[in-house]
Amino acid sequence: MEANIKKLKIQYLEYLEIEKNRSAKTLENYGRYLERFLSFAKVNDIRDLGEEKIRQYRLYLNRIIDANGEPLKKVTQNYHVIALRNFLKYLAKIGVKTVPAERVELGKQEDREVTFLEEGELKRLLDSPKGDKLDTLRDRAILATLFSTGMRVSELCSLDRDKIDLKRGEFSIRGKGSKIRLVFLSYEAKNHLNKYLGGRSDADEALFIRFPKNQGKESNLRLTPRTIQRIVAKHAVRAGIVGKHVSPHSLRHSMATDLLRNGADIRSVQAMLGHANVTTTQIYTHVTDKQLREVHEKFHNKKQN
C-alpha cells in the first residue's frame, strides 16, 4: 500500500472531489489545512506519523501569531484538526495503517457570537429602502428574502429567476455540502420580489443583479456576496442600528431567533437553516434565554405565594 503522505493527500482531495462531491472551496480549504500540517510534520512516510507529532502540531497551532499579533482562533484551529482527522479516517478506509482518527480530539472552542436584530431594529432595517427605483426595489427584496428564508449570502447570490416559485412561496436551494433543502417566502418577501421582478426588463438569469449605467457593456450582472454585504450594511446605517455589526448572516440569525422565540422546535429550525448537526443550531438557543426568567417567575414555587 502506498505510504507517501503527500501522494495520499492528493488522493484524499481527489476522493473528496469525486466521491463526496465537495465544493471547490472545501477542497481549497482542506488542501491548505493539510499542507500546513505536512509542512510542520516533515513526514514523508505515513508510517512515521505518530500521536506525539500530532500533539506537537496542536501546540504549534495554538501558539501561531499572525501579522497583527493575534493567535489563531480556536474555531480555526479546529478546522485544521477536522481536516487532519478526516484525512486519517480516509486512510483507515483504504487500509493504510496510521494514527486512528478517534485518537485526535477537537479542542474546546469559544462560543460563537450571534448577532441578531431585535424587533424594532429589524423593522427599521426592512423598511430602510425607500422609493420605487429598481435598485431600491431590489434592496428591499434582498432584505426580505434573507430574513424570510434564512439563506446564507452565497446561496442568495446563486439564485436564478426561473428557480423561484413566487406562487407557492417556496423553492429548493443547494447549500453546504451540495445538500438540497426547502426554504419559504413570507407574504412580504413574495410581495417585494414581485415588485422587483416586475420592474426588470433585462434578460439576465440571475435573481439579484447590478444596474450599471451602461448595461449593454456588462456581461455578468449577478451580485456577489461582498456587494450584498455592502447593501445590508448601508441600510443598517440608514436604519440607525448602532453597536452591532449587521451583515447578511445577521438576518439568518434573526430568522432563527424569531422562530425559536415564537415556539418553533429546534429540529425544524435546523432543517430550515440547513445545519448538518443540531448542535450548530443550538447556538441560537441562548439568545432566547431572557424568556426563561419570565417562565421561572410565573411558574416556580407558586404554592408559597
Active-site residue, from 9, 138, 252, 253: 252
The pLDDT confidence band at residue 294, using thresholds 50, 70 and 90, is low
240 neighbors 124 (Cβ within 8 angstroms) = yes
The reported pLDDT for the residue numbered 268 is 86
Range with lowest mean pLDDT among 7-11, 212-216, 219-223, 252-256: 212-216
Residue 236 has a pLDDT of 94
CB contact set of 191 (below 8 Å; sequence gap of 6+): none
226 a catalytic residue = no
pLDDT at 14 over 90: yes
- Please say whether the beta carbons of 74 and 110 come within 8 A: yes
Task: Give pLDDT tens digits for 251-269.
Answer: 988 898 888 888 888 888 8
At 214 the pLDDT is: 65
271 phi and psi, to 5 degrees? -65, -40
Q: Using the predicted structure, report yes or no on whether residue 143 has a pLDDT greater than 90.
A: yes
| More confidently predicted of 159 and 218 | 159
Instruction: Spell out the residues 6+ positions from residue 35 whose beta carbon is closer than 8 angstroms to its own.
Output: 9
151 to each of 42, 182, 197, 271, how far by Cα in Å? 41, 10, 19, 12
Residue 140, classed as helix, strand or coil, is: helix
Catalytic member of 36, 176, 181, 261: 176
Q: What is the mean pLDDT of residues 33-42?
A: 92
The one catalytic residue among 140, 235, 253, 275:
275
- The pLDDT of residue 208 is 95
Active site (annotated) includes residue 284: yes
What's the DSSP call for residue 216?
A: G
Q: What percent of the chain has pLDDT over 90?
A: 47
Closest Cα partner for 267 from 257, 249, 251, 279?
279
Asked about 152 being catalytic, the answer comes back as yes
More reliable by pLDDT, 193 or 217: 193
C-alpha cell at 133: 427605483
Q: Give the mean model confidence (pLDDT) for residues 194-198.
A: 95
Contact 21, 179 (CB under 8 A): no
Q: Mean pLDDT in the chain? A: 86
Q: Which has the higher per-residue pLDDT, 304 or 193?
A: 193
Q: How far apart are CA 289 and CA 291, in angstroms?
A: 5
230 included as an active-site residue: no
pLDDT for 44-94, tens place per residue? Answer: 888 888 899 999 999 999 998 877 888 888 888 889 999 999 999 999 999
**Is 300 a residue of the active site?**
no
Of the chain, the end-to-end C-alpha distance in Å amounts to: 74
State the pLDDT at residue 217.
54
Confidence of residue 137 (pLDDT cuts 50, 70, 90): very high
The pLDDT of 22-41, averaged and rounded, is 90
- Write down the domain spans for the chain: 5-103, 119-293
Selected from 2.40.50.100, 3.40.1160.10, 1.10.443.10, 3.20.20.140, the CATH number assigned to the domain covering 119-293 reads: 1.10.443.10
Residue 173 to residue 155: CA distance in whole angstroms? 7
Q: Which of 22, 152, 190, 192 is catalytic?
A: 152
132 confidence band (pLDDT: 50, 70, 90):
very high
Per-residue confidence (pLDDT) for residue 272, from 0 to 100: 87
Percent of the residues in the chain that have a pLDDT greater than 70, as a whole number: 88
> What average pLDDT does range 185-207 have in this prediction?
94
Q: Pick the catalytic residue from 9, 235, 249, 253.
A: 249
Task: Verify whether residue 73 is a known catalytic residue.
Answer: no
What does DSSP assign to residue 206? B
Q: Is the pLDDT of residue 295 over 80?
A: no
Stated pTM of the model: 0.67
Q: What is the pLDDT of residues 263-293, one digit of tens each?
A: 888 888 888 888 877 777 777 766 555 565 6
pLDDT (0 to 100) of residue 141: 97
Pick one of 1.10.150.130, 3.40.50.2300, 2.60.120.920, 3.40.50.1360 as the CATH number of 5-103. 1.10.150.130
> Mean pLDDT throughout 295-304?
63
12, 30, 196, 284: which one is catalytic?
Answer: 284
Res 48: pLDDT: 83
